[in-house]
Structure 1
Amino acid sequence: MRQLMLAALAAGTFLSGADTAFAQAAGEEGASNGEIIVTARRRDETLSTVPAAITALSNDDLIQRGVHTDSDLQTVAPGLTIRQTQGNNSLTYSIRGQTADTFSGSPSAVIAYLNEVPLTINGASSFYDLENVQVLKGPQGTLFGRNATGGAVLYNSAKPVNDLKATLRGRIGNYDMHEVEGMVNLPLIDDTLLMRFAFDTVRKDGYIRNLLNNERLGNVKRDSGRMTLTIKPADGITNTTMAQYTKTGGTNTGASYTYSVYGCGDTNNGYALTCGAGLLFGPGLDAAFGVDGLWASYLAAHPDAYAPGLIAYVDEQRRIGPYKTRHPGGASHHGEDWFVTNTTEIELGGGATLRNIFGYSNSKTRSEQPQLGAPFVTILTANAAADQYGNQLKVRSVSEEAQLLGDTMDGKLEYIFGYYMQRQRSDTLWPQTYFDVSPVLAPSYVTNNFRIRNKTDALYGQLSYEVIPDLKLTGGLRYTWERVSIEQLPQATYTFGLPGQHKTFSDPSWEVGLEYKVTPEWFAYLKTRGSFRSGGFNGAAPPVTATATGGGNLFDSEHTQDIEGGVKYSGDLFGRPANFASAVFVQWIQDVQRVEFPDPDGPGGLASIAVTANVPSSRIWGFEAQGAVRPAEWLTLGGSMAYTNAKFTNGNIELFGNPYSYGPVGDTPKFSGTAYAQISVPVGENMGDVSLRGEVYGQSAQYFSNAAASIAPGTRLPGYALVHARLDWTDIAGSNFSAALFAKNLTDKEYFVGGMTLAAALGHNAAAVGEPRTYGLELSFKY
């Protein structure tokens, strides 16, 4: 059996397309035999023997690789895409083609957790004083539940330790960037009462200039502080409380690059394209109303408008480039977030532990989002008539999780059983302005204002049994009940006063798998999983308890199943330290939750709304590989790669009586990966350590629409490659001081990181641009 498994491992390595020259150590700088601890199965385990595709990074890894916000994670975790639909403060995770669209009522398919408590706001955050970050790929419904059909991203803040420690780090750079972060760890009572304080503050000018008002889009103003207290009142009892407050400001980059606009009569694969914006904002306005001089009248009233019209502005945008825009509205961003976690662990004896995890969050944001970079008010996130500016979201959540975990039968049987509860309330305000063609046509103002409540309860359990030495069988089951309700709030233009609605969704999630420790260096696994993503209500749709096919605001649950197999290696290659991991997967999804902008009144109207629909089915398959090798004491080579082939196997659906067709799958590049080299430079004894790291991240083209083959052409973003570098000098001359020079996007590559598709609603699409070259100096002190 061992020989057969080794042959399978060799075949898996070949099929993965892995090459040690393109391998990334998952969570360790350099390849060594040191073990990395992860919590993918809600217990501490070594990364090299966890049967799952995981990328894990320590706090030092995050610093060395320049990962300061969520967006940076994409370059270090193969297969993870951080979507910027409306710019730098509107982020959504996508793994293996599973995500949530803009304006969706759908919960995200990739859930982010802080200290095992789900985060409720998907926005840019600061990465400071973290213990580690773990990216889990594939359905996580058994142990992490709550709709994680694509994966989970686990952030773990550093816990207090029984030592007096402190760090202070400062960064300065171009775009007037200055950031300061620090930490103080205090053992108040020896190994009994431990406290840790950490903070981060950052200021940075925007990299996109609005030519209409000279405002900089992408300004960053973020302050965050965290306090963690650990109490050990008796042997075997530990209680840790973390409280964090974050305040954000600045401006949104938005989808500020006008990417494509459709003209009347344009078609794509037999589908007539929406042309409302291109028709009203151009010289064709006269013909549309049968009156001469209307366009001239509009231009006289709007001196900043582009005289050749919106369709012609696509070429003008390409001429001025991605870092200039003519957005006619505001771009301000304001956010506040309180987050509290409390974890209590009690050792019961006999290998059993009782754990309780409590979470509380209270978040609010207000963002004016540029959704087109052209100097025409086709759409604004504002309702001037009601004195409302910016999309507003207020989310309050309380969660409670109780777990019993441990092992028995001399360690042959590992178990975890738990109960999870979450109560979440989300208040949404979307003020909108459509088609300001005054004095020819008065703008249309509308505000959506609604509250959605989620009441989630789940029971789960998972067992791992060592059938024979080194061979384990794992089985897990979770059953979730999610009650979703919606009510229309007073500022809703048309729907306030209509009856509220509610519906309960319930389904199981499961996992069955085999794992085998083939040799001390080689590990293999094969498993299958199933999970679901809860249905819900579309807040902007007519409040009728039916799906959009039946003219209502309901969408159904999404279901998924997958098969994943992988191999891992941690040992030596030709006598030098090396590690390697690869995974092959196929995933099937039914009733895929995707957003569209249909017109309830039929084609040609101006009342398009955002609705989450259930696309019949899709299939995703691919492989991922990562690893590293140290061919010499002074050199480490590594990298990662991912191939993801996502397809709607049945993408046809009817919404409000009109047919729609989906494909290709958006926000999912087929290829992505990173290659790096790190060199240790000799500087003499007692002078510290000097190292130089160079890294290249690349990805192939992707779409920012899920209907590019039908009603949303012109939404394909080209692939790109980015070069990053960092020169470190740690413990300078034997001191506690360190310094570094860093640069990201060293070649100043122009590229796109997502987009806002309003093809069906308005007939135009806009892209979000990535950061240009940034560089700076970092100084730090450790005590």
Structure 2
Amino acid sequence: MTGSASAIGRRARLTIGLSSIALVGALAAAPARAQEAPAAPTTAAPGAGSGGDIIVTARRRDEGLSKVPIAITAIGSEDLVKRAVTSDADLQRTVPGLTIRQTQGNNSLTYSLRGQSADIFSGSPSAVVTYFNEVPIPVSGASSFFDLQSIQVLKGPQGTLFGRNATGGAVLFTSAKPTDSLEGFGRLRYGNFNRVEGEGALNIPIVDDAVLLRVAFNITHDDGFIHNLYTGDTLGRINREGGRLSLTLKPTDAITNTTMLQYAKSTGTNTGASYTFSVYAPGETNNGHVLSSGAGFLFGPTLDLAFGPGAWAAYLAAHPKAYAPGLLAYVDEQRRLGPYVTNHPGGDRHFGESWTLTNTTEMALGANLKLRNIFGLVDSYTQSDQPQLGAPYATILTENAPKGQLGNVDDLRSYTEELQLQGQTGALDFIIGAYFQRQRVNTLYPQTYFDLSPNPGFPSYATNYFRIKNYTDAIYAQGMYDLSSIGAEGFKLTAGLRYTRERVFGFQLPGSDNFGAPEQERTYRAPSWEAGLQYQASPNVLLYLKTRGSFRAGGYNGTLNPVSIAALGASPFFNSETTQDIEGGVKFNGNAFGRRATLNLALFNQWIQHVQRVEFPDPDGAGPIASIAFTTNVPAERVRGLELEGSINPADWLRVGGQLALTDAKFTKNTVVLFGNSFSYGPVGDTPKSSGTLWAEITSPIDPAVGQLALRGEVYAQSGQYFSNAADTIAPRTRLPGYALVNGRLSLNDIGGSKLSAAVFGENLLDKQYFVGGMQLAVALGQNGAVVGKPRTYGVELSVKF
């Protein structure tokens, strides 16, 4: 593997950074030790317990979920365990409306929310931004969740307080912080497919309420679940390990400095788009559009039409594992083999390594004024060889053998710095801030197209290797005014504004087929805003109405040849995407019919202009093999829908609830012209029209000498969705069917009055066969692959708290 030497350098830089930040925080605060300031109020962890309000940080401060006028799903540490949320993919069944799309398999993920996402091969930033301890982090390969305080999903544009490109929403991961108690836990799981998971944490108060340390770890192994007939390998193998160190310094009562350093490593095999989903035949059309059919034509007996009699026989002789009837016929063969068998001739290895450093300093400047500084550093490297079709033909591989390049590579480094001033004066709560980010990503895409050897001229090789740098600067302010001060009892008015400048630099690196052009730059500027009115109708009922506007910065198409594009009078850059929405909702947290109940309802309508989507145009007229992924701007999209969450305790021993998301997304102006050709978009991909979960929890306090018995069952279901944004025209047969999954967990807690617990659990208990994403290569090659969801999994768990 490459990257070993660079990893050592990264470890050194991050260790130095950790030490420096902790030292500077302590020294800078030391002179103020004698100052007195009121301690911050103690709050419950998000999602903790069912009897009180969940604490969330959607407005960059601790607030009760039922008091925050925004659609949020919050999952606390206890629920993360109950619902077996251990990786990104698990979030989809716990947050209806959120789609975790797998494009090239389990290590190629994109978050989609309210019809907003980023297409495969796109240079577009994600429309759903993920944060770890308030620091934005990239999502590429699946990660393991361990020792988290909470996960919060904020829905809709988040342009003011979580500004960078969050036109669809934001997902906030918060790690468990050090406490002033000597405590910890350990957890071990074992399941089918030889899955082993171990995690634990230890909290050490080195100096009472002044120097607090917490260490945590996670190890995951899984043998995988897709058998590759061609190579004998198993796809979906997982080997992940991660460790985290958190240090809190309180040099005075007024200052708290928390530093978190996390290392994660992942190896194994990619599931890939290993199910051959659809292939187009020569001459096939869809709604009047002629379909690309290069793969279906060349990988079959029709090869003789291109190279003369005997060409296909010669190919089969050189490739004895190929399916003799051809690729078009293999679609039916794949259905016969089923979803957990593939026939991919290329590699599938995955390697990922990342370091994440976050540092948060809070300084109380008075009873109602606080200064916060948030610093982040993310350094990650991934190299993945991705199966892109399950058929036994090398139509496309993420490899360039002549250059010794195996797998797509992403090498990312990002620095962020954010300074906030939070306070209250009279009836006004306010936050003022400045945000800066410097991000650099080196991306390598090696490719092999159409290995038809021994026929002359094939295979064709290509390498895209480019660097994109993003320099982001922003200032923002938001305030909430209590109108009770002027006689409007229960009403509060919120207004916020953010202004962002983002400079994007694109450069073709040495080794790229497109190397030679100088670095290019474009600057994007835009405001983001929010205005809303909320009414506390009673202590238990909140009503709100708000409108927001945000933008997703434009970017650079690294797969293009900038010299050739300039000769055509075009640019490798694409424009910013802008959006506005209206959201209204009601939140209830109290008693209904004498029983504890919660209800959160949101209705929204969102408009998007210059929507960033990918197309595969043919800029030089060389045919399908020369088509490249090109991010362009579709004129307009509209998304509207409903999101509902609720729960009730019909009895002291029973709690039931559910979630529902209904989403109607549509391109209202759907035509773009690229290089003289017109392309139409629709339906909107990665957006099921409906999804939801029904769940129930039964808690039975049996003999205290035995323990407490708890049973949880849930059903998650969603309607079908497209993995293409052009199924009505040039990419038909890219709709994945809907499905329903049944999950359950039975646990015995506090066994014999101890702190030992045991559980049995299962996911997809009915062994439903389903798909979780797809690889759309309809225009480029005339083929599409799908990503298979996990079969039935089950296991046992032992845990102990101390």
2:142 matches 1:124: yes
Equivalent of residue 299 in structure 1, options 285, 308, 316: 316
1:20 corresponds to which residue? none
Corresponding residue SS for 1:506: strand
1:426 corresponds to which residue? 441
CA drift at 1:605 = 4.2
Corresponding residue SS for 1:581: strand
2:240 matches 1:225: no
CA drift at 1:120 = 2.2
% identical equivalent positions = 61
Amino acid at match of 1:297: A
2:699 matches 1:680: yes
2:502 matches 1:482: yes
Q: Please give the per-residue CA displacement for 1:162-208, whole angstroms capped at 9, x wherever unaligned.
A: 00001110000000011110100000000000000000001001110
Corresponding residue SS for 2:271: coil
Q: Please give the per-residue CA displacement for 1:405-425, whole angstroms capped at 9, x wherever unaligned.
A: 01111xx21000000000001
2:614 matches 1:595: yes
TM-score, with structure 1 as normaliser: 0.95
Q: Please give the per-residue CA displacement for 1:202-239, whole angstroms capped at 9, x wherever unaligned.
A: 10011100011211100000000000000000111000
2:758 corresponds to which residue? 739
Distance 2:100 2:49 in 1: 25
CA drift at 1:288 = 2.7
Distance 2:363 2:46 in 1: 29
Equivalent of residue 425 in structure 2, options 384, 388, 408: 408
Distance 1:625 1:548 in 2: 52
Range moving further from structure 2, 604-613 or 630-639: 604-613
CA drift at 1:431 = 0.3
Range moving further from structure 2, 648-657 or 562-571: 648-657
Distance 1:116 1:401 in 2: 9
1:435 corresponds to which residue? 450
1:778 corresponds to which residue? 797
Query: Which runs of structure 2 are paired with 1:74-153 in the superposition (5 Å)?
Result: 74-153=92-171
CA drift at 1:117 = 0.1
2:398 matches 1:378: no
CA contact (8 A) 1:120 1:397 kept: no
CA contact (8 A) 1:529 1:563 kept: yes
Equivalent of residue 742 in structure 2, options 714, 723, 747: 723
Query: Which runs of structure 2 are paired with 1:640-651 in the superposition (5 Å)?
Result: 640-651=659-670
Distance 1:181 1:287 in 2: 59
Equivalent of residue 284 in structure 1, options 294, 299, 302: 302
Distance 1:617 1:506 in 2: 20
Equivalent of residue 361 in structure 2, options 333, 339, 344: 344
Q: Please give the per-residue CA displacement for 1:624-677, whole angstroms capped at 9, x wherever unaligned.
A: 000100101111110100000000001111112211110000000000000011
CA RMSD of aligned residues (A): 1.4
Corresponding residue SS for 2:625: coil
1:453 corresponds to which residue? 469
CA drift at 1:682 = 4.0
Distance 2:560 2:675 in 1: 11
Query: Which runs of structure 2 are paired with 1:737-776 in the superposition (5 Å)?
Result: 737-776=756-795
Q: Please give the per-residue CA displacement for 1:580-616, whole angstroms capped at 9, x wherever unaligned.
A: 0000000000000011111112373420101111001
2:214 matches 1:200: no
CA contact (8 A) 1:588 1:620 kept: yes
Corresponding residue SS for 1:463: strand
Distance 1:273 1:572 in 2: 58
Distance 1:782 1:135 in 2: 28
1:54 corresponds to which residue? 72
1:657 corresponds to which residue? 676
Q: Please give the per-residue CA displacement for 1:306-326, whole angstroms capped at 9, x wherever unaligned.
A: 101001100000000000000
1:628 corresponds to which residue? 647
1:16 corresponds to which residue? none
Distance 2:198 2:147 in 1: 12
CA drift at 1:86 = 0.6
Distance 1:413 1:500 in 2: 47
CA contact (8 A) 1:31 1:630 kept: no
TM-score, with structure 2 as normaliser: 0.93
Distance 1:356 1:27 in 2: 22
CA drift at 1:503 = 0.4
1:44 corresponds to which residue? 62
Query: Which runs of structure 2 are paired with 1:229-244 in the superposition (5 Å)?
Result: 229-244=247-262
Equivalent of residue 688 in structure 2, options 669, 677, 691: 669
2:190 corresponds to which residue? 172
CA contact (8 A) 1:548 1:555 kept: no
Amino acid at match of 2:477: G
Equivalent of residue 356 in structure 1, options 342, 350, 373: 373
Distance 2:394 2:400 in 1: 12
1:156 corresponds to which residue? 174
Corresponding residue SS for 1:255: coil
Distance 2:257 2:49 in 1: 34
CA drift at 1:29 = 7.6
CA contact (8 A) 1:667 1:704 kept: yes
Distance 2:579 2:564 in 1: 24
Range moving further from structure 2, 679-688 or 358-367: 679-688
CA contact (8 A) 2:637 2:665 kept: yes
CA contact (8 A) 1:544 1:554 kept: no
Distance 2:663 2:584 in 1: 15
CA contact (8 A) 2:257 2:359 kept: yes
Distance 1:371 1:453 in 2: 28
Amino acid at match of 1:455: Y
CA drift at 1:542 = 2.3
CA contact (8 A) 1:549 1:654 kept: no
Equivalent of residue 566 in structure 1, options 585, 603, 619: 585
Distance 1:697 1:393 in 2: 33
Amino acid at match of 1:488: Q
Equivalent of residue 524 in structure 2, options 496, 505, 509: 505
CA contact (8 A) 2:104 2:774 kept: yes
Amino acid at match of 1:416: I
Distance 1:169 1:504 in 2: 49
Equivalent of residue 267 in structure 1, options 277, 285, 292: 285
Amino acid at match of 1:316: E
Corresponding residue SS for 1:518: strand
CA contact (8 A) 1:263 1:311 kept: yes
Distance 1:548 1:213 in 2: 44
Distance 1:556 1:593 in 2: 8
Equivalent of residue 701 in structure 1, options 714, 720, 736: 720
CA contact (8 A) 1:547 1:613 kept: no
CA contact (8 A) 1:549 1:657 kept: no
CA drift at 1:691 = 0.8
Corresponding residue SS for 1:67: coil
In structure 1, stretches of 5+ residues that fail to align are: 1-25
Aligned in 2, Cα 1:94/1:605: closer, same or farther, shift over 3 Å? closer
Equivalent of residue 200 in structure 2, options 182, 199, 207: 182
Amino acid at match of 1:80: L
CA drift at 1:546 = 7.2
CA drift at 1:28 = 4.2
Corresponding residue SS for 2:562: coil
